Amino acid sequence: MTQDELKRAVAAAAIEDIKPLLSRDTIIGVGTGSTANFFVDLLAELKHDFQGAVASSDATAERLRGHGIDVFELNHVGTVPVYVDGADEIDAHFNMIKGGGAALTREKIVAACAERFVCIADASKHVDVLGGFPLPIEVIPMARSYVAREMVKLGITPVYRDGVVTDNGNQILDGYECLFEDPKAMEQRLNNIVGVVTNGLFAQRGADVLLLGTNEGVERYTP
Ligand SMILES: O=C[C@H](O)[C@H](O)[C@H](O)COP(=O)(O)O
C-alpha cells in the first residue's frame, strides 16, 4: 500500500473508533496534517451525527468548515471527549514528536483538553527512540537566538525554519542530532527555556490509543 493509502486506512479506523462517542451535542478535537486531513474528509460523512469540532490549526478549521462542519472555539467548549491527530514519530510508550506542520502549540492545547487522544499514523512513524525526526520548537521571535543557544547546551542542533510563521505569529526552530531516551524530562527542560512557547515532544500527555497503518491492516494499540 502507498503511504497515502495507509493514512486513509488509519483515518477510517479512527472514524470507527470514535463513532460510539458521537451524539448531537458531541464536539470533537481534530488535529492537523495530511493524516488528519483524511480523517476530516471521512468525518464529513457523519456531520449530522455530532455537533461540531475544535480545530488545532487554521488550516484544519478551514477544511472542516469547507465540509459544512461547525468549528467551535476551545474556550467555549471546555473539554472534548476525543482528539484525533497524526504524529511525526511515536514510540512504544505512546510518546510522540509532533509539529512537522508547525501546528504543535494548538495541538498540545487541544490534546490537553481531551479525555482521549487517538493517534493515527502509518507504520513509518513508529520508532524505538524519538529523535530521527527533527524536534519542532515554537519560539517567540525575539527569543529565537537565545533559545537556539540553550538548545545547543542540551545537545540539540537548532535549525531555523525560515519563512514559517505559526498560527500564533511565532517562529519554529527544528532540533536535530539528538535522540530522546527520556522524552518526558526533555519536554520539561525545553519548556523551562524562556521564549519557548511549546516544544513538539508530546510525552507528559502522550496518546491513549494508537491506530497504526501497516500493509497487514490497521493495528490498534492501547497502553
Ligand atoms: O504540525 C503538524 C502536526 O503535528 C502533524 O500532526 C504531524 O506533522 C503529522 O503530519 P502528517 O500526518 O502530515 O504526517
Q: What is the pLDDT of residues 153-179, one digit of tens each?
A: 999 999 999 999 999 999 999 999 999
* Enclosing H/E stretch for 112: helix 104-112
- Report CA Rg, the chain: 17
* Grid cell digits, residue 114: 481531551
Q: Are residues 8 and 88 in the same domain?
A: yes
- From the centroid of its chain, how far is CA 59? 13
Check which CATH number belongs to the domain holding 151 and give it. Answer: 3.30.70.260
Q: What is the mean pLDDT of residues 13-27?
A: 97
Q: Are residues 80 and 144 in the same domain?
A: no
Q: Are residues 95 and 33 in the same domain?
A: yes
Interface ipTM: 0.98
Range of the domain at 150: 135-200
Q: In whole angstroms, how far apart are CA 58 and each of 2, 26, 94, 147, 205? A: 28, 21, 26, 26, 23
Q: Are residues 107 and 215 in the same domain?
A: yes
For this structure, is 16 an active site residue?
Answer: no
Q: Are residues 74 and 182 in the same domain?
A: no
* Grid cell digits, residue 90: 511515536
Establish whether residue 136 lines the binding site of ligand 1, counting it when its CB lies within 6 angstroms of any ligand atom.
no
Check which CATH number belongs to the domain holding 83 and give it. Answer: 3.40.50.1360
Q: What is the pLDDT of residues 98-121, one digit of tens each?
A: 999 999 999 999 999 999 999 999
Mutate which of 88, 117, 165 for ligand 1 pocket (most atoms within 8 A of beta carbon): 88
User: Any residues with CB less than 8 A from the CB of 124 and at least 6 apart, and which?
Assistant: 3
Neighbour-count burial of 217, counting CB atoms closer than 10 A to its CB (0-12 exposed, 13-18 middle, 19+ buried) = exposed
Share of the chain above pLDDT 70, in %: 100
Number of domains in the chain: 2
| Stated pTM of the model | 0.97
